[in-house]
Structure 1
Amino acid sequence: MLTFEEKLSIIEEFQELTKKEISLGRLNFHFEESLYEKKIVVYHLHPNGNGFVYGGQLDQYAADNRGMVNIRNFDQDELRSIIQASIESLSLSPAEKAPVLEEWLNDDDQSLVLMREDDGYNVYAGEDLEGTFNTYKEAANFLDQEGFQPL
């Protein structure tokens, strides 16, 4: 297990994080450039070596109900990796994290394009916007009802 000082040294390598002192000698590190409300990447780093890193959007880590991953037993490489992944997850829009760009055709060889943009899904006929939907399922249902099938 890394000591508090070793963990602190690794965390401070990430220039994009801002240290905030909190109670009982614990530290939080904020990512102010986050595209989301969530800004805390390192949470409650304690002098005893315990602490958490935000991993709520990272499938490869077991996060608690707040999206935090306990880093008590992480080695140097694991700690660097999760911090980098956390920062990246807060730096990318949903469309960048899981892009969608699909062409759909109907029986008359007309095509529409389904594209994920920002927090939603848009359907285009050429450059004209045909519809905007909150979920992929809603957009796919619309296309299906209009007689289109994905390529």
Structure 2
Amino acid sequence: MLTFEQKIQILDSYPQLERKNVSLGRVNYHFEGSLHEKKTVAYHLHPNGNGYVYGGLLQGYDVDAKGFVNIREFTEVELRGLVDASIASLSEPAPEAPAPSRKKAKRLPAESEWVNAKGEKLVLRAEDDLWYLYSGLSLEMAFDTPDEAKEYLAEEGFSPAVPGV
């Protein structure tokens, strides 16, 4: 295990990191060149040897809820590897969201008939951005989405009168 002083010496060797002394003798290191909202690379290095390095954008590290890796037991090689990887990950722009799929999702027709085992029929009809369920001329229910309507109909034992809907 590296001592607090050894960890500080290693982190001080990175010119792109800015040292920030915080409470209780702890030290943080910030990477102002980060292309992400996150700028803290090393967090709460403590004189007792504990401390954390940001690994939230990395694979293969055990990170806490904030994306930090506990470095208490790290060797110099492990610590340098993690710090290098952390800086590199913060130097890369955030990946863009994938383009929306050109495939159209399978949609219900504007009106579909549903039946149960007793032969009772219901009609599901799209009107004004809602989905209405009718029994004959009587309105039974209204739904925000076709998926809600399908789920309800399935729970009530109804299936599409025309398979594949």
Name the TM tier (shorter chain).
0.5 to 0.7
Alpha-carbon contact 2:35-2:94 (below 8 Å) kept:
no
**Residue 67 (1) aligns with residue 50 (2):** no
Please say if residues 36 and 94 of structure 2, whose CA atoms lie closer than 8 Å, have aligned partners that are also in contact: no
CA distance in 2, matches of 1:20, 1:54: 15
How far the C-alpha of 1:78 sits from its partner, in A, is 0.2
What is the RMSD of the two structures over their aligned residues, measured on CA atoms? 1.1
Q: Which residue number in structure 2 is paired with residue 92 of structure 1?
A: 92
User: Where does residue 56 of structure 1 map in the other structure?
Assistant: 56
Partner of 1:25: 25
- Which structure has the bigger radius of gyration? 2
Higher helix share: 1
Query: Which residues of structure 2 form unaligned runs of 5+?
Result: 105-165
Which residues of structure 1 form unaligned runs of 5+? 96-118, 121-134, 146-151
Letter aligned with residue 17 of structure 2: L
TM-score by length of 2: 0.61
TM-score (norm 1): 0.66
Identity of aligned residues (%): 52
Residue 7 (structure 1) aligns with: 7
Match of 1:86, as an amino acid?
A: S
Q: What amino acid is the match of 2:79?
A: L
Q: Distance in 2 between matches of 1:94 and 1:71?
A: 25
Quote how far apart the aligned CAs of 1:77 are. Answer: 0.1
Structure 2: how far apart are the matches of 1:78 and 1:18? 21
Q: What SS does the aligned partner of 2:69 have? A: strand
Determine the structure 2 residue equivalent to 1:37: 37
State the number of aligned residues: 104
1:93, distance to aligned residue in structure 2 (A): 1.2
